[in-house]
Every structure is written in C-alpha cells, then in structure tokens.
Amino acid sequence: MGRAEREAVARGTRLHEAALTLAGDHERAVDAVRAALEPLHDEAVAQALDAIPVARLQDVTDGRLRLGAVEQSGLGTVRAVLDAGPYRLRQIPGVGQRTVDQIVAAARQLAQAAGETAAVHLDVDRPEPRTTALVVALHVLAEAGPESHRAADAATALTRRLGPLLADARPAAGRTGLLLAGRARKARVLEAVAAIRSLTEEAERAGTHELLAQASVDLLRGPAGDLAAWTDFELRSAEYYGLLGEIAGRAPDTAAAEGFLPDDIAERVRGLRLDDSHRRVSLRGYQAFGARFALALGRVMLGDEMGLGKTIQAIAALAHLAAGGRTHFLVVCPASVLVNWTREIETRSTLRAMPLHGPDRQDAFTDWRERGGVAVTTFESLRGFPEPDGGELAMLVVDEAHSVKNPQALRSQAVDRWAAHGEHVLFMTGTPMENRVAEFRNLVRMLDPGVADRLEDGTGLAGSVAFRKAVAPVYLRRNQTDVLTELPSLQHTDEWEELSAGDEEAYREAVADGNFMAMRRAAYARPEKSAKLGRLREIVREAGENGLKVVVFSHFRNVLSVVEDDLDTKDTKDTLVGAGPGAHGRVFGPLTGAVPPARRQQIVDEFTAASGPAVLLAQIQAAGVGLNLQAASVVILCEPQIKPTIEHQAIARAHRMGQVRPVRVHRLLATGGVDERMVRMLERKARLFDAYARRSAVAESTPDAVDVSDTDLARRIVEEEQTRLGLSDERPAPTP
C-alpha cells in the first residue's frame, strides 16, 4: 500500500466525519421540533377526544355496545373513558369484562385516529411558552433553508456508502496493514479504496464538502429570540407549517392530497423523483405531488383552490427541468401579477427570471432566445412574439388559464399556438371548472384533444366521479380543507403591481404638486387603466368563484367609490355577478366614517347573512375598530397604511376567534414609488409592532414605539420622489 491509497482513505474519512457531523446536527434540530411539538399535539388529541361523545363508540363496534350505564356514571366523552381505564369501567354496575374490553378497544381506536389527524395551530396573536418553543425550534430549520435538508439527505447517503467501505479499507490506512493479508483480502481492500476515491472525487465535483460545512454552520447558529422567530413565522408561515407537517409525519389524507386521481395515474406520478438542486423553498407533500403531476403527465391543468401555492408548484417543476439541463421556460400571466411572478422565481429558485414586458420586450425576447431562463410575459405581449421552432421550449406555464377559455379570443389563439410547441404545458387556475364543462373543454383541448372529446356536458356535476375519471389525465384540484391539516390561520401576500402609463401620469402629477395623499391614491386615479384595480378585480373574482366573502379596505373614500363602480360595471357583472357559481355576489357599503355606527353594524350584519360570496367595501378607519367581520375569508388592502396599527386592527376584524376558515390578506402595492418607500420605511416599525401588538398593556403604554409620525414620513417620501423623478426644482411643501 502506498501514499496514494493512504491519502484516499484519509480523504474518505474526513468526508465521512463531516457527513456524520451534519447528520447529527440536523437530527438534533429535528428532535428539538419533535420535543416541542409533542405536548401540543397531545393536548390537541385530548381536546379532540373530549369533543367525541361516548355514543360514538357505537360506530366503531357496529352498534354492539351497551353504553347507557357508562354514560349514567358520568363518563360522557371518549377522553373520559380512556382516563377512567379498565379498572374503573369494571366497577360500573351492569358493565362486564367483555364490555369493558370492547369499550377500551373502541376508545383506543378513536384515539389512534385522532392522533393521526389532530393538528397543532400556532396562534401568532396569542403566543404562549409552549407554542413559542415550537416556533423557535422550527425557526432554526427554516433559517437553514431547504439546503440543510438537501445536505442532510446527502450526508445520510454518504455515511451509508462510506461506512462499510472505510471498514473494508482500514488496513490501507497504515503502512503495514496489509503485510500479512492474503491475496483475496488485499483485493477487497484495493476495491474499497477505489470506491472511496470515486466517492470523494464525486463529492468534490459536486461541492458536497462546502454544502455540508455551510449546513452545519446554519444549524449551529442557535435559536433566535422569541420575537425574531414569531416575526419570521408570520412572514412565511406556510414554510413553517410545511416543515411541521414533514417532521410530524401526520400527512393529510393521501387520496385528497393526490386529488382523488385513479390509482394508475397516481402511481405514475409518485414514481417521479423531484430534483431540488435549483429550488430554494421546501414543498409540502401535496405541492411536491402537484409538481410531479405536471412533469409526469406533461400537459396538465392545476386547479388547486386559492392559497395552496400553485406558483410554488410551478417553480418546482421548472427547477426540476432546469436541473436536467433544460434552459428555456415561459410563464404567461395577467399584467397584474407579472412582477409577482418575477420576484417569486428569483426568490424561490436559482433560475434567471426575465420579464418580457414594456417597450423593450422585443429586445428582452431576443436575449431570452439566446441565453435562456424563465421568461415572464403577458397574454397581450405573447401575441407579438414569434413562436419557437423546434423543442427549445421546455415548459409553458399559463397562470389564470381561465382567461383563455374562449377559443375565438386572440389571446386564446396565441396561447394555443405556443402550447403546441411546449414539451411540458402547465395551465393554472383557482377557478373550479366542474360546473362549466363547455369552457373547461376548451382549455383541455389545448392540452389533450382526446380527453376534451370524451367530456360530455353531463359529466360536469360537482363532485361527479365520472367527471374526475374523465379529466384525470389532465386535471388536478385540491381544496384547503382536504390537504392543510395544520392550516395557517393568517396568510399575507404582497401583490406588487407595475403601474400602467395612466397610473404613472397621475402619480407624476401628484408628486409635482407635493401632495402625499394624492400620491398614495394615484394608482386608482385612472380607473380604466389602473393596474391595482385590475388585480383587485382578479382576486375578488377568484374568491367569488370559490364561494368566499371579501372585505376591501382603503384609507380613501374616493378609492372605494372607484372600486364600487368597477365591480358594478356591465363588463364586470357579465364575468362576476351572473347567475352562475362564479358570481362574487352583492357588493355592500361603502362603510365610511360618514355612516352612523348603528348603520355600520347593520351593513356588516347584512354582509354576514348574505348567502354565498359577497364583497364589503370599508374605509379602514371606520371598520378597523369595533366591528366583527369574521364572515370574510379574504381581505384586500388597496394601499399600505401609514401606521402598522391601522392595518393590524383592520385585519383583526376578520381574523379573530370564531373564524372557521383561514384568512388571506392581499396588500396591493405599486413598484418604484410611494408604496415601495412606505413599505421600506415602515418595516422596522412593523416588526416592533409585531411584538407590541401581542402585549396590549405594553402597546398602550408605549405608542411612540409603534406608530410613525405622519407628517415626517410624508415629507421624506415626497422629497425623495420629487428628486427621483426630476421634479425637485419647484418643490411645494408636502401636504400629508
């Protein structure tokens, strides 16, 4: 044995030790989460069993049990039966040993089911020591990111392969280890050394040493403070719940998570392994299945209910294809979400995002054709680009795909032509299509004409087994209640919009006048061209299609009037307020400061009592305090507010005790102007508010630590915007 063999074994030993260290670090972080979760889960199970009456034991035993004596003894719930135990049950007159055995077995069966389904909810507004401990433990893994999970998987694989090889190669580590070994033994050692050398060289090429070292550093930073952990949880709660579900191992119903697909299709999807090397976000189980569905079946429609992360599933599919060497991808979406798509791609993956929009879109398109990446464009812009020749387009993603349901529309024809050239095509829509077979068939025809031909008008009944079976090769839809076992109670989304030309004109006029309030509402000054209004309309439409109620908040009465007029226009009525299931329902309000308090409550009561979807328009100061808006599942903030307290109080009207559905908050923001500056300036104050809002006594005693001076903020923003736009030569005094 020479120096080369000894060095190969030494390098393999160092890699093995690094892998063992990382695996241990990751396991300790996971164990910390499990330890913090256990008492909370046990309590959730106990509460679930406390809510199950003893009579339910009959269901488990097909009605064979006689439970009258048990109930008369005061044991009214399944939890009470389990706490009592066999001995106390046996003391109840008329209850024999056989009955006791049956009762206990049935109760344990229900307890096992409760243990598998009980969900732990983390209430950001009412933290307590046990939930704080869990959030802090999760924060370690969330901060380390999906790279740490990838590193842990790599470490496990390395230790499994290197351990036996190093044991076989041990004689080669010394100068005299093989002097007395026979020929067969020497051959085995040399074979192990060669395998070790191959593994270490492969690890060096892949950068595995650096991956393991960085992951260990990330995991050993130690837990953050309580406030930092809770603040981060609120900002990205979906990632925390994803980690929690993965570690807890209590997945939602598999059939529901897989959209009740037929077994043969589901099995085909399960067999595909996602490559996450270009992804920067962890996926929940149903999200990973959705990405694999798109990849395995090639040309599909993802119809998940709003709030389930369709965008992330699409990015996961793009990242997988990129890892396999594919280079050109195209996302087509409404102009109102183009900025969001670009930011999500850049944040959630390592892929290059290229917006093809605006006056330079043709140059950007040429650059994309030459260099590749994820191009993001609008339905309108797509019509101006030459279709790809050959197989360069690895995946076409079409967001809000219901927008191309009319085959006669030019945008639909453009999408159809591009879809014909895409190796993979993913249509995305949160609109349930089961009751609109004709429209659905038009979309499916772009994906798979054969499936479209098999769709008959009678197969569209909601929940129809025939419909699910007919569309299974192209359509996957999951609902929140089916797949989110640990449902985030509050989800924030910042909707960044690029101002239209009309918006820009109104904004420049407001900046030139030094009018801060006019700057804040400039995005609605030209309603017919308003980018924010277009996005608001889409959110309201999708919420209505899913039967949800919406409350729209603005500081400005005239903005609410613009929204009201837009929702009441003929075109909007045709798409939103028709008799079909997609109607957004009646528009209530606007509820403003001029409305007497008694009338305000009456409006809220009418909104709550309305059957099905509805929209309530409310001035944020008038509705932010004292009213209960928990009938709303979707909250839209038309603009950022000057004080974090204002937004928090308004959201709290909907997100409060008694809310049975998660609340989604959409804050409409415009890029490059007053909104962006306000968000940046208020970020620190908002983080402080996150702390103080949970401790009302502190908040009341230290208001200066929470709110911001309106006048000072207005002056600073007006001056900065006048300078940025070259309007500072004649600078009027700002008017807050």
pLDDT in tens, 501-523: 999 999 999 999 999 999 999 99
In a domain, 247, yes or no: no
Q: Are residues 439 and 507 in the same domain?
A: no
H or E element: which one contains 584?
Answer: none
Q: Are residues 454 and 395 in the same domain?
A: yes
Average pLDDT, the chain: 83
Give me the mean pLDDT over the 102-123 stretch. 84
In a domain, 733, yes or no: no
Q: Are residues 607 and 460 in the same domain?
A: no
What pLDDT sits at residue 315?
97
Residue ending a domain, choose from 175, 204, 222: 222
CATH number of the domain enclosing 280? 3.40.50.10810
Domain that holds residue 582: 490-724
Q: Are residues 266 and 205 in the same domain?
A: no
In a domain, 126, yes or no: no
H or E element: which one contains 32?
Answer: helix 3-50
In a domain, 678, yes or no: yes
Whether the pLDDT of residue 253 is over 80: the answer is no
CATH number of the domain enclosing 655? 3.40.50.300
Q: Are residues 453 and 519 in the same domain?
A: no
* Domains identified in the chain, total number: 3
What pLDDT sits at residue 188?
86
Q: Are residues 360 and 507 in the same domain?
A: no
What pLDDT sits at residue 434?
52
In a domain, 234, yes or no: no
Q: Are residues 719 and 612 in the same domain?
A: yes
Q: Are residues 192 and 49 in the same domain?
A: yes
Asked if 544 and 582 touch (Cβ cutoff 8 Å), the reply is yes
Other Cβ atoms less than 10 A from the Cβ of 180: the count is 8
Q: Is 55 exposed, middle or buried (0-12, 13-18, 19+ CB in 10 A)?
A: middle
What 3-state DSSP class applies to 706? coil
What pLDDT sits at residue 734?
56
In a domain, 421, yes or no: yes
What pLDDT sits at residue 51?
87
Give me the mean pLDDT over the 622-641 stretch. 78
In a domain, 136, yes or no: no
Structure tokens at 575: 């798409």
Query: Structure pTM?
Result: 0.64
Whether the pLDDT of residue 621 is over 60: the answer is yes
Whether the pLDDT of residue 254 is over 70: the answer is yes
What pLDDT sits at residue 147?
84
Residue ending a domain, choose from 439, 456, 483: 483
The CA distance from 685 to 698, in Å, is 15
The CA distance from 333 to 311, in Å, is 11
What letters, b where the CB count within 10 A reaches 16 and e where it falls short, cover 347-358?
A: ebbebbbbbbbe
Whether the pLDDT of residue 607 is over 70: the answer is yes
- Beta-ladder partners of 425: 299, 396
The residue to which tokens 């044995």 are assigned: 1
Whether the pLDDT of residue 460 is over 70: the answer is no
Please, which pLDDT band fits residue 647 given cuts at 50, 70 and 90? confident
Residue ending a domain, choose from 463, 483, 503: 483
What pLDDT sits at residue 683?
67
DSSP 8-state code for residue 274: P
The CA distance from 661 to 59, in Å, is 28
In a domain, 526, yes or no: yes
Q: Are residues 454 and 550 in the same domain?
A: no
Q: Are residues 260 and 370 in the same domain?
A: yes
Q: Are residues 460 and 520 in the same domain?
A: no
What pLDDT sits at residue 650?
78
Q: Are residues 606 and 524 in the same domain?
A: yes
